[in-house]
Amino acid sequence: MGYLHPALPGAAVLPFPGRAPYGRLPLSPPHLAGGEIEAVRATLESGWLAPAGPAPAAFEAAIGAATGFAATLATTSGTAALHLAYRVLGVAPGDEVWAPTLTFVATVAPAVQMGAVPRFLDVNPTGWTLDPDLLAAELALAARRGRLPRVVVPVDLYGQCCDLDAILGACDRWGVPVLCDSAAAMGAAQRGGQHAGRGARLAVYSFNGNKIVTAGGGGALCSDDAALIARARHLAGQAKEPAAHYQHETTGYTYGLSSLLAAVGLAQLPLLEARVARRRAIFAHYAQALADLPGLDFIPEPAWGRATRWLSVVLVDPAAFGADREALRRALDQQGIESRPAWKPLHLQPAFRGAPRAGGAVAARLFERGLCLPSGSGMTQSDQDWVIDAVHRHARG
């Protein structure tokens, strides 16, 4: 079906996704559900454009139903939700915020902007997510130093869950709250089938255009503690106190999600399960069709969860494959296929030079060898076979 949009006249091909034979194949473009145009039209006709009214509230209810959290705030982005989380957790200048080093910069950026000190911990090879044993050991050391982190922020990487049970166990021992960055993990399940992020004090989701379902930009902050979300909602609306005039005890933000984008998100969310199934099928096809090539290994799915396979990530062993990750990326690029290196670890980013860390060698190796292949759920079988052919053509022999 590709990117054909049934709601557009003549089922026109949307401009963004170059279909492989005719243009560029993007990494993870938005995949329309079909109901977005009607949803936006209905919202416009209702007169509700502000981040108030029925659409954001309905979107929040749908996110709550999908994730199992008791309270949800829809925000302008996942990064805004992270910022609000750091505010309601009371992060102050000089506080330590601990996160895995293998993640997107947004995991810690708002905390750093608030004056916090990020501390980067390595990931483990079993799931590429925060190593709970390392975390437990580091927390014990920090307690001995009398300097526990203000918050620990594990990440559900590439649509697969961190070992949240083990991480919560390590943090509960010292009373350290956990904020789960599940921005890329809508639809992922952890042990016992709970949704990604569930169990953490706060969890963040993203509905950016490249995520598995999108609002065309947007995010959510969730918790089972309704008071935390009420506080976040207050800050998201410029911290207006209940008074006829403008009264402020603190300063806030304009972080509430617009009704139009909430309507888009509402049209997308019912397709979450189907999108997960499609992304998993894409991953399985890559793994099967590239299995004959030496020197390629795929991101492992940890035993405790069900990944969405948001992005299909492959590790390239240069000696066995006959080319390194960057050579393969450039070869694909020349064929019009977008691929991206795995996250560059944050401890290697100039923006965080000198930040304290524990380990990082596992993450550095994953960056050196990891390549994200096109994984959009709207990709056709022939799009994907084109990628597979291109990888084969570039392999040794």
Return residues touching ligand PLP (CB under 6 A).
77-79, 103-104, 106-107, 155, 181, 183-184, 206, 208, 219
305, 160 contact by CB (below 8 A):
yes
Which residue's CB is nearer to ligand PLP, number 155 or number 293?
155
382, with CB counted inside 10 A (0-12, 13-18, 19+), is exposed
Say whether 317 sits in a helix, a strand or coil: coil
Which residue's CB is nearer to ligand PLP, number 181 or number 293?
181
CB of 28 to ligand PLP, least distance (A): 10
Which sign does the torsion angle of CA 15, 21, 25, 30 carry?
Answer: positive
Three-state SS letters, 232-257: HHHHHECCCCCCCCCCCCCCCCECEC
> What are residue 198's DSSP bridge partners?
200
Read off the tokens for 83.
């910022």
CB of 365 to ligand PLP, least distance (A): 20
Say which amino acid occupies 171. C
CB of 105 to ligand PLP, least distance (A): 8
Say whether 93 sits in a helix, a strand or coil: coil
CA–CA dist 317, 264 (Å, integer): 41
CB of 8 to ligand PLP, least distance (A): 26
CB of 30 to ligand PLP, least distance (A): 13
CB of 333 to ligand PLP, least distance (A): 22
Contacts of 182 (CB under 8 A, 6+ apart): 156, 161, 188, 196, 197, 203, 204, 205
Residue nearest to ligand PLP (CB): 78
CA–CA dist 124, 136 (Å, integer): 13
Which residue's CB is nearer to ligand PLP, number 28 or number 259?
28
Taking residue 242's Cβ as centre, other Cβ atoms within 10 Å add up to: 6
The values of phi and psi at residue 90, to 5°, are 75, 30
CB of 156 to ligand PLP, least distance (A): 7
Which residue's CB is nearer to ligand PLP, number 117 or number 196?
196
Which residue's CB is nearer to ligand PLP, number 167 or number 390?
167
Say whether 223 sits in a helix, a strand or coil: strand
Which residue's CB is nearer to ligand PLP, number 171 or number 179?
179
CB of 158 to ligand PLP, least distance (A): 8
Which residue's CB is nearer to ligand PLP, number 69 or number 386?
69
Helices (H), 99-151: 109-113, 132-145
Which residue's CB is nearer to ligand PLP, number 79 or number 124?
79
